[in-house]
Each structure stands twice: as structure tokens, then as C-alpha cells.
Structure 1
Amino acid sequence: MTDLLAALLLGIIEGITEFLPISSTGHLLIAQHWLGHRSDLFNISIQAGAILAVVLIYRQRLWQLATGFLPRNRAALARDVETYGMDLAAQRVVRQQNNFDYLLKLGVAFGVTAVLGIVVKKLGFELPDKVLPIAWALVLGGIWMLVAEHYAAKRALALGERSSITWTVAILVGVAQVIAGVFPGTSRSGATIFVALLAGTTNRAAATEFAFLVGIPTMFAATAYELLDVIGTPAAANEDWTALAVAFAASAVTAFVAVKWLLHYIQSHRFTAFAYYRFALGAALLLLMPSGS
């Protein structure tokens, strides 16, 4: 198999698995046992390709957040009242306040991830190169998903439909991103979505949107960090940039399709099927792979 074909397959695997709660990092590390080991820069950069797909899918929401949070001066408010009437003008002010609040919470979640992520990096943490811990993480993550799904459903019945993101949700989502990065097989999307559901955002679409949007600055920052770390070093000279570009593009395209499908799926389904997939894959790895692999 040529190196470009291997990179293409890795990009497709990343794009499919990044936002499904089945662990993209775990799948990549497993696939690299057969397709060849890749650098941390490669693995993080193709995750950024998948994040680019989310930027495209949520482009209208991102534009709304970027342009709809600035406070309006008295002259602008007066024009709004004259143009839209008092009620609609008041609604515009409320939307601006909500956008600003949402952006602050995205910033807090990202800040928590960034600080804890730097601490983990400084401590010298490295991703495992063996399948066994990933297999166990897949199985244990599946159990966590079933338990979390059960309690999230009970919370939804008790609290009703809640789409708001609280400060507690924002902080816990930031922590969940780091935990998912430390333990491959956990799944960043699964950890953050279920943390949001359990912490009080009972609306699945709202919890998923926040989890996906906070991943945008997180993964782009992680890619920039790795780039700055390798530029001008022998690692940069040894990196196959053509293969990385192929994998990046493949990841972006397949992630776009996968996210579109997932957003439609969660409107009428729970995440239970993904837990069973994790059990099946984890069990297969535990049974088929030598314990030292």
C-alpha cells in the first residue's frame, strides 16, 4: 500500500469517527498498527480537518454569534424601535445578550481545556502505542454511555426541555475535553455531549451544538501548538506534508457527511447504538490482539 493511500484511509477514518461518540483517536491509533505510525502533528492536524467541516455546517450560527453580540448604542436602539417596534427591538437586545453570554461560555470551556491541556503536555503525557488500553477504554466508555444515557433521560424528565448552557456545563465540558484527550478510546464528542446532558442541558441538539462548537477553537489551537513546536526542527523536515494534506482533505469531506448524518440521527434516536458498537470493537480487540500489542 502506498503512503498516500494509507494517509487517505486515515483521513477517512478520522472524518467518520471524530464526531461520532466512538473515539477518533482510538480508531486512528488502532489503524496505524496496520497503516503505519504517524506523528502527533499528523494526528492533530487531520482532526483539525474534521473541525473545518463543523465550521462549514455551523457557519450561520457562527456568523450569528460573531456579529450579533455587540451592544447597540442609543441611536441604533432608537432606529430599531422605529423600524421594528418596541417588542421586536427588545427581542433583538435579548438575542444580543444571549449571544454574548454563549460566547463567554464557549471561551470559558476552551480556556479550561487550554490550561489543563498545557499542564498535561508539560507533564510529558504521550498517547499509548498499544491497543490494549484503547480496547478497555472503548468498553468502559460504552458502559459510561449507557449509564449516562439512562441518567440523562431521567434528568430530562425531571427538568424538562432545557437548551441553555450554564457556567457549570461550560466548565465541565472543558474538563471533559482534556480527559478524552488523555485517555484515547474515551471520545471527545461523547464525553462532552453527555457531560452537558447530565449537567442540565437536557436538549440533545443544544448539548451537541455546544460540544461541537467548543471543539473548533480547541482543535485549531492544538494544531497551531503542534505546528509551532515542530517548525524549524528535524521533525518538520521528516513530515510528509503531501500525505498530511491528503489526509486533511479526506477528513474534512467525510466529517461533513458524518456530522450531517449525526445531527439528523439524534433528533429521533439515543446514543445507545454507539455504546454497543464500542462493546463489539473493544471485545474484538481484546480477543484478537496479543496482550502486549
Structure 2
Amino acid sequence: MNDLLSALLLGILEGLTEFLPISSTGHLLIAQHWLGARSDLFNIVIQAGAILAISLVYRQRIWSLATGWRDAASRDYALKIAAAFAVTAVVGLPVRLLGWELPETVGPVAWALIIGGVWMLLAERFAESRPDSTTITWTIVVAVGLAQVLAGVFPGTSRSAAAIFIAMLLGLTRKPAAAEFVFLVGIPTMFAASGYALLETVGEGRAGSEDWTGLAVAFAAATVTGFATVRWLLGYIATHRFAPFAWYRIGLGAALLLGLPAGS
């Protein structure tokens, strides 16, 4: 398949799956078995394209947080976003440097999809039995930061799913509020990850071998599709459960385990 077309399709896939709790990384790894493998820089930076989309969706919220330091509630919320990002950075950087992650093959991704789907069903059921709340405690802040690290270690976990559902389990039971906090924490997280991956690529002398045109096409596609997807998702979760996404994960993971040869 033409490299640019492949990059375009991967960018669209990233934009569609980054914010849905079905694992964008898992879907990209699976798709690349047929569309051709891409570099770590490609896989990370196109996620930043989707994060740019969330920045556009929440641009008014971000502006109010950036300019609302005199308001105690805004200041507290912004500090908690920064703290969750700090937890991810402080724990995640050593994890990355030590290479602590599962192999990026379809087998581990399939298991992560299934386990994550079951976890979502159980977590949502438990959260729904608790009082409705939009309070973000410091326990939730730390847990969201650690959940993002966990998603990086286990491809197929889904950063958004891991973080949203741990927040819900710990008391942030209003789904739109949990999603907003997790998405906003994801903005500095993914931009920092993209910057780090770019510095690694340049520092190791791999910049000349990178498909920058394909990366730009995928980044733009991820931004456009990500914007449309997150606008739809925020409306959906206000009145619907996450269960369909959980069953999709379980079904896809099972299909992969049944359809792929051992070692894939």
C-alpha cells in the first residue's frame, strides 16, 4: 500500500481511538501488521495530533484555567492537572528508560483488550452504585498519573480507559467530569512524550530515516478525526454507559487470540 495512504489511514485510526476507551496504541499496533510497521516516533507523535484536537475542544476551559488563578476553584483544578502530569513524568520516565513494557505484539495487546474490557464492566457497575460526585481528591490525582504509566507499560490497556475508570472507582463518579480531567491531564502528558521521542530521534541520529511527510499527514488526520470523535464522545457518555466499548474490547481481543498464530 502507498506509504502516504497508509499514514493517512493510521492517522484516522488514531483520531478515532485515542479518546474512546478501546486503546489507540493497541489498534495502531494491530493495523500496522497489515499497513506496515512504523517508528516509535510516528506512533507517539500522531497521538499528539489527537491531543491537539482535545486542546481545541477544551480551548475555553484551558483559557479559563490559565487566566483564572485568582479563583480558588480554578487554581485547585489546574494544580491537580499539573500534579497528575508530574506523577506520570516522575514515574514514567524511569520506566521508559529501563524498558519496562510488554512486547508490542498482537498477543499481549489482545489480552490487554480483554482484561481491560472486563475491568471496565466491573468498574462502571461499582461506580454506578456510589453517590454522584465531581470531587477530585488528591488520591484520584495520583492514581490518574499512575494509570497513564500503566497504559504505557501494557500496550492495549488504553490510557483514557485506565485513568477514567480508576478516577470513577475512587469517587469521581460523574463520567463527563472524570473524562474531562483525564483528557486535560493527557494534554501535557502526550505533548511531553512527543517532545521526548523527537529529541531521542534527533539525538540518536535517526531523523534522516524518518518519514516526515507521512508523519505530518497522519498528525493532521489524527487531529481532525480526534476533534470530531471527542465531541461525539462527550455527548454520548453524558447519557450512556461505557459497556458497549467494553464488549467491543472483549470481542476484538478474543478474535485476535483465535485468529492469530502463536507468537504473534
Q: Under a length normalisation based on structure 2, what TM-score does the superposition of the two structures give?
A: 0.98
Cα contact 2:101–2:154 (8 A) shared by 1: no
Query: 2:215 is aligned with what amino acid?
Result: L
Q: Specify the alignment match of 2:188 in structure 1.
A: 217
User: Which structure has the larger Rg?
Assistant: 1
CA distance in 1, matches of 2:99, 2:115: 25
Aligned partner of 2:98 among 115, 123, 136: 123
Q: Specify the alignment match of 1:152 in structure 2.
A: 127
Give 5+ residue unaligned stretches, structure 1: 72-95
CA distance in 1, matches of 2:25, 2:125: 26
Q: Specify the alignment match of 2:83 in structure 1.
A: 108
Query: 2:243 is aligned with what amino acid?
Result: T
Query: 1:115 is aligned with what amino acid?
Result: V
1:50 and 2:25 equivalent?
no
CA distance in 2, matches of 1:123, 1:182: 11
CA distance in 1, matches of 2:108, 2:229: 26
Deviation at 1:116, TM superposition (A): 1.0
Q: Specify the alignment match of 1:76 in structure 2.
A: none
Deviation at 1:36, TM superposition (A): 0.8
RMSD value over aligned CA atoms? 1.0
Cα contact 2:102–2:108 (8 A) shared by 1: no
- Quickly say closer, same or farther: Cα 1:127–1:235, change in 2 above 3 A: farther
CA distance in 1, matches of 2:183, 2:104: 27
CA distance in 2, matches of 1:284, 1:9: 22
Post-superposition CA distance 1:119-164 (Å, at most 9, x none):
1112123562321110011011111001101111112xxxx32112
Q: Specify the alignment match of 1:59 in structure 2.
A: 59
Post-superposition CA distance 1:72-117 (Å, at most 9, x none):
xxxxxxxxxxxxxxxxxxxxxxxx0001111111111000000111
Cα contact 2:51–2:187 (8 A) shared by 1: yes
Aligned partner of 1:179 among 140, 150, 154: 150
Q: Specify the alignment match of 1:78 in structure 2.
A: none
Post-superposition CA distance 1:156-180 (Å, at most 9, x none):
xxxx321121111111000000001
Cα contact 2:101–2:152 (8 A) shared by 1: no
CA distance in 2, matches of 1:268, 1:104: 29
Deviation at 1:41, TM superposition (A): 0.6
Aligned residues: 264
Give 5+ residue unaligned stretches, structure 2: none
CA distance in 1, matches of 2:213, 2:203: 18
Q: Specify the alignment match of 1:98 in structure 2.
A: 73
CA distance in 1, matches of 2:56, 2:205: 34
Q: Specify the alignment match of 2:118 in structure 1.
A: 143
Cα contact 2:81–2:185 (8 A) shared by 1: yes
Q: Specify the alignment match of 2:212 in structure 1.
A: 241
Q: Specify the alignment match of 2:244 in structure 1.
A: 273
Q: Under a length normalisation based on structure 1, what TM-score does the superposition of the two structures give?
A: 0.88
Q: Specify the alignment match of 1:229 in structure 2.
A: 200
Aligned partner of 1:204 among 162, 175, 192: 175
CA distance in 2, matches of 1:178, 1:248: 23
193-202 or 14-23, larger mean C-alpha shift: 193-202
Report matched runs for 1:68-107 at 5 Å.
Answer: 68-69=68-69, 71=70, 96-107=71-82
Deviation at 1:232, TM superposition (A): 4.8
1:28 and 2:36 equivalent?
no
Q: Specify the alignment match of 1:13 in structure 2.
A: 13
Superposed structure 1 runs of 4+ greater than 4 Å apart: none
CA distance in 2, matches of 1:237, 1:23: 30
Aligned partner of 2:235 among 258, 264, 269: 264
Query: 1:101 is aligned with what amino acid?
Result: D
Query: 1:116 is aligned with what amino acid?
Result: V
